[in-house]
Structure 1
Amino acid sequence: MHERTPPGIAAFVLMIVLCATWGFQQVTIKIASAGISPVLQSGLRSAIAVLLLLVWARWRGIALTQADRSLRPGLLAGFLFGLEFVFIYLGLSYTTASRLIVVLYTAPCFTVLGLHYFVAGEQMQRRQLAGVLLAFMGIVFGFSGESGGPPGAWIGDLLGLLAAIGWAATTVLIRATRLATISASKVLFYQLAVSAALLLPLSPLIGEAGISQLSLPVVLALAYQGVIVAFASYLAWFWLLTRYLTTRLAVFSFLTPLFGVAFGVVMLHERLTPSFIVAVACVTSGIVLVNLPAPRQRAARVDG
């Protein structure tokens, strides 16, 4: 197990690329929803990615089934991961990509709260608490009235908030259990395999229409989610977590909602209003406060 170190320039550049990749995902979910039901779409995404991961692991000689006491937390992580994306995909049926991604990226705030109670050395400071409160103030202000969303958008916003809580719970579980000591590939395998096994049969059980049309945009959007996001970007993210200090990487996560809002406005022609812009600013500022490294303590002076 490698000791985590501060990230360098290459890691910073990779994080920016990952944030842009995740920001664009909400747009592709909207596009693919024109031909594939939300929960089925999420299950197919995980299934595509887990097949690619199995090929990758075999090629690299990475064992995914060895006994290492990670099965129970791994199954729970997979369940939480699947639940998170049920909320995301269903949420996008009610609200815009721009709105949902801003709500979703309150997750780092919930993560800080979870780490404070369950992971030694991750106790929350007053500055981080202020960031959590600021992010929630932005959500309340931005979404309390009409802010560019469709009728019933509050349902999608609520589902986005539940997805954020699920994402944070998954991160805390990975940091606080045996999962923190296993390979990034195996952590991702648990999440993809369990979520695919849950979501694919869940879709017909809840009465989804399934696949209604497979146009080129729908297929490309699903491929982006499965190949680029769920396989390549998540593998890169978990690899970064095994190599570098998490708090130094997490500060870049505030870029994702900015990318997401920009993509939603440019590609889906979603409308921005002043209150929504304030919400974006408050959530972004709150996440930055949460993730800023703690100030160094001043060295004690020694009288001569």
Structure 2
Amino acid sequence: MSERRIGLLCAFGVLFIWTGFQLMSRFLAAQSVTAWDIAALRYAGAFLTALPFLIWRGPPRMPVAQALALTATAGFGFSLGAYGGFQLAPAAHGGVIMAGLLPFLIAAAWWISFGEAWGLRRIVSLALVGFGILLLGRDTFGDHPGAWRGDLLFIFAVLCWAAYTWLIRKWRIGALDATMAVALYAAPLFLPIWWFWLPSRMENLSLGMEIFQMAWHGALSVMLAGFLFTRAVVLLGGPQTSAITAAVPAMVALGGWLFLGETLGATGWVGVLLVTGGMVASVLPALTLRPRAPTSTG
């Protein structure tokens, strides 16, 4: 398989894991556990999953300052912002704001920092995504007038994730090293603070549900999705990776309608189709790309 196709598989893996992450976060918020509790499950699960990799290959191969920067953005900023947002706003809001805003932030950052200009195909795909996001927002935001506080937290979360994406590109950090750094540093820093000082309602979850959530939010959402996302950024670039994950709002809106009873109107369905079309417009050329035959250098 070409590197580009491997990158596409990684990006689509992130797409499905992130959709489940957002739906599961909204479900947990309905179970009356705090955002701090969900974060604790996430960090503990990721830490336990990373330990075998630590034994196998040693600590992340980067300076401690870089590891802390990645942990601050992808570990704390993104997850705490997202979990706090889902306490105050429905799943569709998180999908629309976080995954919908990300491709624009990354495309702009890549243009300014790395000189990667916007071609016609990228402009068309971003335009479709942007218009679809606006329609989804119009359809879902009006029914929850008090959700603006959660929406601000979603914006903070996506800014942190965009910063993480920019840092791994700037520092050229490998996928496994970046993922291990976030998994290994977050738990020791956060869990003692949560245990002694932060409000908790963990008793509302059964032991089986706690273990399941540790696996979902830690092993899948941090370790697997973090590795796949970072690998996709390395192989495809940040703009195209984020264009694929821009389909998360459509999938979250569908999942929220099917599993959480958060309905969509006709405008929302049109938005779903446009976002999906924008993602397809970005990905289709890569799916049909063929490797060039080697040329003679004489």
In the superposition, the TM-score normalised over structure 2's length comes to: 0.77
Matches within 5 A, 1:146-295: 147=141, 149-177=143-171, 180=172, 182-200=173-191, 203=194, 207-215=198-206, 216-217=208-209, 219-242=211-234, 244-246=235-237, 249-284=241-276
From 16, 21, 24, the equivalent of 2:12 is 16
From 16, 21, 25, the equivalent of 1:25 is 21
Q: How far apart, in 2, do the equivalents of 1:264 and 1:145 lie?
A: 13
Q: How far apart, in 1, do the equivalents of 2:284 and 2:162 lie?
A: 18
What's 1:91 paired with? 85
User: Once the 2 structures are TM-superposed, how far is the Cα of residue 241 of structure 1 from its aligned partner?
Assistant: 4.0
Q: Indicate conservation of the 8 Å contact 1:31/1:217, yes or no.
A: no
1:86-111 superposed Cα distances (whole Å, 9 cap, x missing partner): 11101111111122112111212111
1:165-189 superposed Cα distances (whole Å, 9 cap, x missing partner): 2211110111012xx1x43222112
What's 2:43 paired with? 46
1:79 aligned to 2:72? yes
1:63 aligned to 2:55? no
Q: How far apart, in 2, do the equivalents of 1:252 and 1:139 lie?
A: 14
Q: Indicate conservation of the 8 Å contact 2:257/2:263, yes or no.
A: yes
Which AA in structure 1 matches 2:252?
G
Change (3 A) 1:89 1:223: same
Q: How far apart, in 1, do the equivalents of 2:175 and 2:252 lie?
A: 26
What's 1:37 paired with? 34
SS at match of 1:92: helix
Q: How far apart, in 2, do the equivalents of 1:255 and 1:132 lie?
A: 11
Q: How far apart, in 2, do the equivalents of 1:289 and 1:13 lie?
A: 16
Change (3 A) 1:183 1:227: same
Q: Sequence identity, in percent?
A: 22
What's 1:143 paired with? 137
Change (3 A) 1:133 1:240: closer
SS at match of 2:59: coil
What's 2:113 paired with? 118
Runs of 5+ in structure 2 lacking a partner?
Answer: 290-298
Q: How far apart, in 2, do the equivalents of 1:288 and 1:176 lie?
A: 27
- Equivalent pairs counted in the alignment come to 281
Question: How large is the RMSD of aligned CA atoms in angstroms?
Answer: 3.3
Q: How far apart, in 1, do the equivalents of 2:157 and 2:143 lie?
A: 18
Q: Indicate conservation of the 8 Å contact 1:20/1:260, yes or no.
A: no
Q: How far apart, in 1, do the equivalents of 2:193 and 2:154 lie?
A: 20
Q: Indicate conservation of the 8 Å contact 2:70/2:167, yes or no.
A: yes
Q: How far apart, in 2, do the equivalents of 1:245 and 1:140 lie?
A: 26
Change (3 A) 1:126 1:174: same
Change (3 A) 1:264 1:221: farther
Which AA in structure 2 matches 1:143?
G
1:203-256 superposed Cα distances (whole Å, 9 cap, x missing partner): 4788533423222445423431112221223223334444x2325544432333
